[in-house]
Amino acid sequence: MKNVYTKWLASNLPQYLKDELNAIQESDKDIEDRFYQYLSFGTGGMRGILGAGTNRMNIFTIRRVAEGLARYIASNGDEAKKRGVVIAYDTRHFSKEFAVETARVLGAHGIRSYVYKESRPTPQLSFTVRELHAFAGVVITASHNPKQYNGFKVYGEDGAQLVPAGANALIQHMNAIKELFEISVADLASLEEQGICRWILEELDASYLTNLLTLKDDVKADFNIKIVYTPLHGAGLVPVMNGLKQFGFDNVYLVEQQAIQDGTFPTVSYPNPEESAAFKLAMELGKQVRADLLLATDPDADRLGVAVRNGEGYELLTGNQLGALLFHYLLHTKQANGLLPINGVMIKTIVTAELGTKIATHFNIDTINTLTGFKFIAEKIEEYEQTSEHSFLFGYEESYGYLIKTFARDKDAVQVALKVAEMAAHYAMYGKTLLDALNDLFKQFGYHREALVSKVFEGKDGQVQMKAILDDLRENVPTEVAGVSVVRVEDYLKGIATLANGATELINLPKENVLKLYLADNSWIAIRPSGTEPKCKYYFGVVADTEEEAEERLNRLVHLQL
């Protein structure tokens, strides 16, 4: 590793990267962490800390993944190169620079690129790939990660993130790259002059908005409700504000301090709408204007957080709660308008709560479970469009990701922000808030509660620790948890579900390092290492006849040490 470090230091680096490396020359541990591996590219793309080194996000590791993508596209022939790649980016540090660097590498192979002039949401990138009939898409983002991170996600021609087969092909091309500093890059001005690199913005904004407006249903609604929106310094600002206006909402208040597109995220420590701290300024503004609804999107606007006025304060909805609420509203509206298909389907991930499944069953709608990652939901959407086996109605995951209409093929916080506003306006006509509507669902289907506990494992040692935890649990699966029998164990790495009586069933999903335990009281626990962060995630779900009993069961599970 010291040799690689020395080679980097002797190379033609930008001064800021060279300064970083000079500052750690006495620290073998820092050198090892930066150079023990190439930043990995998985089915969730590539994500890491900004900085110098092979295990960091910088122009050289960007060139490596862009070169792998270029070779992958070239292997698909001249038509693929001609159709080209759409490139978008969020507001993080170096996002635009990395986008341009990607276009330069692609251009060196004669591959066209369509680059957004300004930051735009990840779902808009997904939409644009389909709209321009491009062969692939790239978005530079680290989603809701802290400010020191950035990332690189790749999309296929269907507008969805690459599934394992495509990602593995790209990885093979990346692994064939021997000399990082010899990757060719073209001159940007020359690419623009030749028409190989084209800047895009207004025309795609207009087309995306046109599609967003197809979400609006003819329902009774009070469009005078007051809404506060914060983009958390990210890319959601333009499409969300334009969309709400076009939907007919005039009382929309923007958190001005967080409308500034700034990769330092100066007003939040963690730009994640799943966290209550991210709503601090929105809540302050909400109290000033007596807002009914607070909306927040993460930096690349694929995740939406929602808070609802409850007395003098605001209560955040969880991803599971918002997903169930929105799904029920969509089905109820379609049923009332005679538009509910007989072959409808809802698609969710294996760590998403079961309230949505109960709602689907109530409306005679099928539920399909996929592995974690919206690309798997998108894969099923594409399959059903080809086979007509099902009509897609809704897809969601507990981590605040939802999709209603398939003009985008990734979770779309812009779509959902508009539809949640409509839903809140609809219930307001009947004197109800979203909290009231949620409580109605609990009364009908049982009180569902969920929790997520994440344990951080940084660096090389952390990866080893995470693997050891799952390996040990896999070999020593408990027969009971908190005094309740384990009735089913799903091992997604082995692809086998084992029942309490020893009987087994095959799991018809791709292999992934996840364990899920089902208990006799309908509670469940799932354990999985994150695919994009140095974390091991523990998911808990319970259901009971009363709110108090549900809270008690959940607390009992969360405080276990598995």
Q: What residues act catalytically? A: 143
Residue 298 Cα distances to 157, 365, 388, 401, 474, angstroms: 25, 31, 34, 11, 35
- Residue 10: partners with Cβ closer than 8 Å, 6 or more residues away: none
With b for 16 or more beta-carbon neighbours within 10 A and e for fewer, the 251-290 pattern comes to ebbbbeebbebbbebebbeebbbbbeebbebbbebbeeee
CA atoms of 323 and 396, how far apart (whole Å): 6
Going by their DSSP bridges, the two strands 504-506 and 496-499 should be labelled as antiparallel
| Residue 373, Ramachandran bin (φ over 0: left; ψ between -120 and 50: alpha; else beta) | left
Tokens in use for 73?
A: 């596209």
CA atoms of 347 and 373, how far apart (whole Å): 12
In the numeric block, the tokens 């799903």 are attached to 490
Report how far apart the first and last C-alpha atoms of the chain are (Å, whole number). Answer: 36
Q: ∠ CA(194), CA(195), CA(196), 5° rounding?
A: 90
Q: In 3-state terms, what secondary structure has residue 450?
A: strand
Whether the Cβ atoms of residue 163 and residue 379 lie closer than 8 Å to each other? yes
Question: Which has the closest alpha carbon to 219: 335, 360, 391?
Answer: 335
Question: Which has the closest alpha carbon to 135: 108, 169, 109, 112?
Answer: 112
Residue 447 Cα distances to 301, 311, 424, 544, angstroms: 30, 22, 21, 5
Q: In 3-state terms, what secondary structure has residue 248?
A: coil
Burial environment of residue 360 by CB neighbours within 10 A (0 to 12, 13 to 18, 19 or more): buried
CA atoms of 515 and 399, how far apart (whole Å): 18
461: amino acid identity, one letter: D
CA atoms of 82 and 105, how far apart (whole Å): 15
- Residue 296: partners with Cβ closer than 8 Å, 6 or more residues away: 229, 230, 231, 232, 273, 278, 279, 282, 304, 305, 306, 307
Q: In 3-state terms, what secondary structure has residue 371?
A: coil
414 φ, ψ to 5°? -70, -50
Strand-by-strand arrangement of the 149-155 sheet: 46-49, 149-155, 136-140, 85-89, 113-116, 197-200
Q: What DSSP assignment string belongs to 159-228?
A: SSBPPHHHHHHHHHHHHT---GGG-----HHHHHHHTSEEEE-HHHHHHHHHHHGGG-------TT--EE
Tokens in use for 382?
A: 């594409």
